[in-house]
Structures are given as C-alpha cells and as structure tokens.
Amino acid sequence: MSRLWLPVRLLALAASLICWTVLWLVARLRTLLGRPRPRCVALYYHAVRTDERESFAWQMEELLRLARPLAADATELPDGGDGLYAMVTFDDGFRCVAENAVPELVRRGIPAALFVTAGCLGGTPPWLAGGSHPDAGERLLDVDDLRLLPRDIRVGSHSLDHVRLSSLHEDEIRRQLIESRARLEHITGRPVELLSAPHGDYNVRVLDLAREAGYSRVFTVSPELACLDEGRLCYGRFPVSPRDWRIEFRLKLRGAYCWLPAGSVLKRRLYDWLERRRARRAAKAGRMGRTGACSGKST
C-alpha cells in the first residue's frame, strides 16, 4: 500500500468536513426561510465479507438513525419529502453480499439493489483475474442465489460481461444491455429496470441505448447527490465500504464527499499546470545551456 494512502485519506476527510459544514449551513438557511429541500444519497458497496458483517450492521443502524431508507427504483419521496434519504446498492453481485449484507438489511427493513453481471454467474469475477484485487477470489451469485433473494432486494443489471460500455460498438452495447436484462428477468421472474454501468464508464450514447433497452434508471460511480426528478435517467452514487472509518461513513451518508468530482478536475488542472511549468523551465534551461556553449566557443 502506498505511503501516501493515509495522508490522502485524511485530506479527503478534512475537505469533506468543510463540505458538510457548508451543506448544513445551507440546509439550515433554507429551513429558516421556509424552503427546506430534501437530500437523497445513493451508496454503493462491492463485497461484504464475514469479518465485515458487524461493521456493515453498524453502518445500517447509522443509516436508520440519520436518514430514511429509499428503494433504488423509488419515483417519489415518502413522508412528505423532507430530510435525508439514502439508497443502498451493491455492484458486481458477490455471494458474500447475499450471505452477510442481505440478512442485516432484511432485519432492519432496508431495501437495496444488487447489480449483477449476468454473463458471469457462479464463478469468480473474470475482470479481476490475474490481479491482486482483494475481491478477485470472491464467488459471484448463481442462479439459485438470485431466485432466493427477498422481494425488497431489487436485482439490476451490471451488463453481461462487466465491460466498458462506452468503448463498444453500438450493436454490442445493445447486446450487453438487452441480453443481461432478459437473462436476469428470466431467472428471477421480476422486472429488471435498473442498470449500473461497469467501471462507472458511460457516455450519452450508452444512456440513450439504456433508455431504449427499457431501463428506467442508470447508476454511476460519480459521488453526486441524487434527485428524483421526473424523467431523469442518470444517478450518481457514493462509494462506501464496511471498512470505512465511522466518521467517513457518516459524512458519505450525508453527501459530504460530493466535492470529489470538482476536486478531480482541480487536481487534473493543477497537474497540467505543473507539467507546463516544468516544461518551460526545462526549455529555458536548454536555451541557457546553448547560449553558454556558444559564448564559450566565441572566446
């Protein structure tokens, strides 16, 4: 693990604390003006292992304490639409989620969505094969696992083969979207109208084809506050893990990491500026070196 991991994590935490303070002040001001606005946060997990179950259960208790659970396919906010709402989702369709997370969700009455890679059922994730990713050895849900999921656990598509959809030809994108949906509906006997883009990779063409294929909602991995606008297709989500620090989870649940997209843009611009500055210095040093060489010859 990189030595920079802890400083970067602490820096992100500090920025999120500032962001949460701003969000809280804005919410208080809107309440005082009589114009409160509900906030909706979509969370996404991957694996939840046996030794992480207790931490996950604590996180779900915090979710119930700080927010109101919302189904990933909800079209309107209950209870008058005020306060903080949270969606819980899981990408990749790991069996350990059904074994460890789903019972904790059912026990608390929290709805969730599992996004399943329909062409890779029952094995290990081929997109992680040969690497050192901690999820590489996790088993994926099989047909029987999917059929046993409770009704409050929605099943969504994570494509057919966990591919980067935006890089594919249009016909292959259609196949990934349509065939994965058809397989999952045949297995579960339920409608499948939710899609999570693998790797968070999508573009306007993918969204258009997803709508054409019958999906009502597409989830990405961009940490953005969700808003149940009528006709809206694309929804961002905040990455969470049972191994998150407790303060990290609370801030993510409150949407305080929504600064990350802007932070990434700023980081990219800063990096480009530093590269240009370094290139100018190198060019200037080269010119000075050539000038010095010429002066030496002339003497």
- Could you please report the per-residue DSSP string of 9-78? HHHHHHHHHHHHHHHHHHHHHHHHTT----EEEEEEE----GGGHHHHHHHHHHHHHHSEE--TT--S-S
- In degrees rounded to 5, what are phi and psi of residue 135? -95, 0
pLDDT along the chain (299 residues), means of 10: 79 94 91 87 97 98 97 85 90 98 98 97 93 93 97 97 96 98 97 96 96 96 83 92 97 93 62 72 72 57
Looking at residue 197, which CATH number applies to its domain? 3.20.20.370
Look at the block and give the residue holding tokens 């509900």. Answer: 38
Cα-flanking dihedrals φ and ψ of residue 144, to 5°? -65, -40
Note whether 52 and 68 are within 8 A (CB): no
Cut 0.85: pTM above it: yes
> Following CA atoms 281, 287, 289, 291 in sequence, which dihedral angle do they give, to the nearest 10 degrees?
-150
By the 8 A CB rule, do 63 and 55 touch? no
157 neighbors 195 (Cβ within 8 angstroms): yes
> Looking at the domain assignment, is residue 47 inside a domain?
yes
112 in any annotated domain:
yes
31 lies in a domain?
A: no
Residue 111 included in any domain: yes
Say if 142 falls within a structural domain: yes
pLDDT of residue 83: 86
In a domain, 122, yes or no: yes
CA 181 → CA 45, 119, 176, 177, 236, distances in Å? Answer: 21, 11, 8, 6, 21
User: Which residues on neighbouring strands pair with residue 226, listed in sequence order?
Assistant: 40
102 lies in some domain: yes
For the chain, what is the domain count?
A: 1
Q: What is the Cα–Cα distance from 96 to 109, expressed in whole angstroms?
A: 19
Domain that holds residue 85: 38-254
User: What pLDDT shows up at residue 281?
Assistant: 80
Pairing assessment for the beta strands 234-235 and 217-219 based on DSSP bridges? parallel
pLDDT of residue 193: 97
Q: Residue 295: inside a domain, yes or no?
A: no
Any idea which residue has 């994590």 for tokens? 9
What contacts 110, CB < 8 A, 6 or more positions away?
60, 63, 64, 69, 88, 152
